[in-house]
């Protein structure tokens, strides 16, 4: 049974799971479903065709599922899907998809969106992603699992941020970030590998050493990037972390890659 504050407004098409709590002055109006044991604090606003998983927590003044900030949006029926165990902090805004991007914004499990973060239309966030305070993702951005985007950073539309990567605070990211990469700056450049993150997530030490060797090869100054990537794919074939980077770089993209400023940096 849900626990609903008497001042909350719940639309007729809202479905609440077991033991959901809805705080004072919250407004839920749309084709909304919220999973078991989720907590909505006061002044939460949820709209549209929005699905939220179990064990989530949404804090005051979050705006979830309202109309995309896209002039091309014409009222098409699009969706927002949020996974389990997600924490959406104060003043976060999340928009659903559009016809130009597959009609769906999707957020994985165990995601933390800190205060003031914005997730625009058609973004795709993997499991375990963290957006720190006041991060702004433009439309069609992909952030793969366990990536972290530092506070006050902005991410250009269609950018891909690879798994287990990290974006330094106050960065402007206009190009793709390789998996396991570390970028920073305005405009963001590749500063090396996210070695701290790799160690914290208990990746094998030998695999990390192999990834470092492949990184040096891919981002050296000899030949073209495509040639270096193909060389790394051949030399380090069967090494999982290298394979992930190679696959990411080979995949077609609307954006270029974030590159080191002056060849391979010492942080790798």
122 is catalytic: yes
Q: What DSSP line would sit under 95-120, residue for residue?
A: ----TTTTSEEEE-SS-EE-TT-EE-
Catalytic residue among 48, 53, 122, 144: 122
118 is catalytic: no
Measuring CA to CA, how many Å separate 174 from each of 71, 138, 254, 259? 21, 10, 11, 11
Catalytic residue among 65, 108, 139, 192: 139
Q: How many CB atoms lie within 10 A of CB 4?
A: 18
Burial 105-144 (b: 16+ CB within 10 A, else e): bbbbbbbbbbbbbbbbbbbbbbbbbbbbbbbbbbbbbbbb
Catalytic residue among 30, 97, 101, 121: 121
139 is catalytic: yes
Positions marked active-site? 121-122, 139
């Amino acid at each position: 049974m849900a626990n609903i504050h008497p001042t909350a407004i719940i639309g007729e098409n809202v479905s609440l799971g077991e033991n959901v709590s809805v705080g004072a002055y919250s407004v839920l109006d749309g084709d909304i479903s919220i999973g078991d044991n989720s907590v909505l604090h006061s002044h939460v606003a949820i709209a549209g065709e929005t699905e939220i998983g179990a064990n989530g927590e949404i804090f005051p003044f979050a705006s979830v599922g309202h109309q995309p900030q896209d002039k091309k949006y014409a009222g098409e029926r699009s969706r927002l899907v949020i996974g389990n165990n997600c924490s959406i902090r104060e003043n976060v805004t999340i928009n659903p998809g559009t016809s130009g991007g597959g009609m769906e914004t999707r957020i994985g499990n165990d995601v933390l969106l800190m205060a003031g973060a914005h997730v625009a239309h058609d973004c795709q966030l993997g499991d375990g992603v963290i957006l720190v305070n006041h991060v702004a993702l433009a439309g069609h951005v992909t952030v793969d699992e366990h990536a972290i985007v530092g506070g006050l950073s902005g991410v250009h539309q269609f950018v891909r941020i690879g798994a287990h990567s990290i974006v330094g605070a106050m960065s402007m990211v206009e190009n793709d970030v390789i998996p396991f990469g570390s970028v920073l700056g305005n405009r963001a450049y590749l500063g090396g590998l996210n070695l701290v993150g790799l160690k914290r997530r208990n990746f094998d030490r030998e695999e990390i050493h192999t990834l470092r060797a492949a990184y040096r090869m891919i981002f050296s100054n000899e030949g073209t990037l495509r040639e270096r990537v193909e060389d790394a794919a051949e030399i380090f074939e069967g090494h999982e972390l290298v394979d992930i980077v190679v696959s990411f770089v080979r995949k077609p993209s609307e954006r270029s890659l974030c590159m080191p400023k002056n060849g391979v940096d010492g942080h790798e």
